[in-house]
Amino acid sequence: MSSPSTESSRPKVVVTRDLGPDVMPLLRARRDLDVVTWPENRVVDRNWLLQNIPGALGVLVMMTEKVDEELLDAAGPSLRVVSTMSVGYEHADLPELAKRGIKFGYTPDVLTDAVADLSVMLALMASRIAGEVISLVQNNQWPTVSWAPFNLCGYQLSTSRTSPKRTVGFLGFGRISQATLARLIPFGITDCIYTANPSSPPQPSRDEQLLKRHGLNSLRRVDMDELARESDVLFVLAPGGPATRHLINEDFLRKMKVTSVLVNTSRGTLVDSEALAKALREKWIWGAGVDVVEGEPNVTTDHPLVKEPRCIVLPHVGSGTFETRVGMATLAVQNLLAGIDGGSNMPAALDLRNKL
């Protein structure tokens, strides 16, 4: 790779992060391209990016980089593709990209399993009061805690003789929800309910297929009221943005079972943090596990959810496995290369036609 300051007659692509030894060779193999990579192990300096992007055919960015008019103007008319190593695209001005006819690649699907794994982990941790029992050990209390038949207990994710029916609920029922559901089947989950975007049509044949494949007693699309009232474990797995902001609010949480747990591994904005903290404090629900929080990463130790012992808070590590990040980086490179070659073979291009 050339250093940023080297002039080259080859067409240029800009990459805002070293993608590691598994993925960088895919870029280096394209000897017809000048690959300009931000050399440091931190978020790319905006000025460096603005100075290096002029004339580039493509740019591969992280979700930390704002793709706005300023950046696109700096790139100039040569720019054919923006490829982001993320499934979200809140950092990109899609209408502006559409107007300029620039392709936009992202990385859906490849992180489904990593997020589903984490969702199951958080459901178990919230059910089994993992935050409290870990703290107990870390605070040197194990030697003195007294064993008692119902001490340090949680509710059981698996069915049992006394709880033979377990209903799992999904706010949003896309790929990650379905992958999470599949993982819960051997725990004995008997029923599944979900809500979907009101504008999306019912999918009776898909639902019938899932019901049969998993041997469930029922699988139904429901309204928010029933989702709140019936879920033993509720997974929030929906897109962010204004349309879904605070769908989980005080009204919703007050309807939930006192034995239920809530897991959010999608977008922090879906949940009203103050309301969830209150629900946990006042024991409207049993526990919660969140990998995302509204306003992240500015979530400090005085945040109501971080202070709440019954809330597990993780720093947005849903896609955080080496396998998945390599998969995302690989897909981002494939999108970039196919994008500069015309864009028709991009494995995951976002359709921008309705973004104008």
Decide: is 327 part of the binding site for a copy of itself (CB under 8 A): yes
The structure tokens 């999306």 sit at: 200
C-alpha of 45 from chain center: 25
Which of 5/298 has CB closer to a copy of itself? 298
- 286 vs 299: CA distance, rounded Å: 22
> Residue 230: enclosing H or E segment and its boundaries?
helix 224-230
3-state secondary structure of 254: helix
CA-based R_g, the chain, Å: 23
Give the HSE-up count for residue 215: Cα atoms under 13 Å, Cβ half-sphere.
Answer: 6
Nearest-approach distance from CB 17 to a copy of itself, in angstroms = 6
Q: Record the tokens describing residue 320, joined without a space.
A: 């955080």
Which of 22/274 has CB closer to a copy of itself? 22
Nearest-approach distance from CB 58 to a copy of itself, in angstroms = 18
- Ranges within 66-95 binding a copy of itself (CB under 8 A): 85
Decide: is 25 part of the binding site for a copy of itself (CB under 8 A): no
3-state secondary structure of 114: helix
Q: Record the tokens describing residue 152, joined without a space.
A: 């340090």
Contacts of 74 (CB under 8 A, 6+ apart): 50, 53, 54
- Ranges within 114-143 binding a copy of itself (CB under 8 A): 114, 116-118, 120-121, 124-125, 127-128, 130-131, 133-134, 136-140, 142-143
Query: Which residue of 101, 152, 165, 241 would you call a contact of a copy of itself, by CB under 8 A?
Result: 152
Which of 10/213 has CB closer to a copy of itself? 213
> Residue 73: enclosing H or E segment and its boundaries?
helix 69-75
Decide: is 64 part of the binding site for a copy of itself (CB under 8 A): yes
Which of 27/299 has CB closer to a copy of itself? 299
Query: Which residue of 28, 145, 218, 258 would you call a contact of a copy of itself, by CB under 8 A?
Result: 145
Which of 214/229 has CB closer to a copy of itself? 214
Decide: is 343 part of the binding site for a copy of itself (CB under 8 A): no
Decide: is 329 part of the binding site for a copy of itself (CB under 8 A): yes
Q: CB under 8 A: which stretch of 1-9, 12-20, 76-84, 98-106 binds a copy of itself?
A: 12-20
Contacts of 240 (CB under 8 A, 6+ apart): 88, 90, 266, 267, 268, 269, 270
Decide: is 258 part of the binding site for a copy of itself (CB under 8 A): no
Q: Are strands 58-61 and 218-221 parallel, antiparallel or unpaired?
A: unpaired
Nearest-approach distance from CB 148 to a copy of itself, in angstroms = 6
Q: Catalytic annotation on 91?
A: no
- Ranges within 174-233 binding a copy of itself (CB under 8 A): 182-183, 185-188
3-state secondary structure of 168: strand
Nearest to 236 by CA among 270, 206, 185, 187: 270
Query: Which residue of 5, 7, 47, 149 would you call a contact of a copy of itself, by CB under 8 A?
Result: 149
Select which of 91, 214, 246, 316 is catalytic. Answer: 316
Which of 53/126 has CB closer to a copy of itself? 126
Q: Are strands 218-221 and 287-290 parallel, antiparallel or unpaired?
A: unpaired
The structure tokens 């599949």 sit at: 182
Number of residues that bind a copy of itself (CB under 8 A): 83
Decide: is 168 part of the binding site for a copy of itself (CB under 8 A): no
Query: Which residue of 22, 73, 226, 274 would you call a contact of a copy of itself, by CB under 8 A?
Result: 22
> Residue 344: enclosing H or E segment and its boundaries?
none
Tell me which residues are annotated as active site: 316
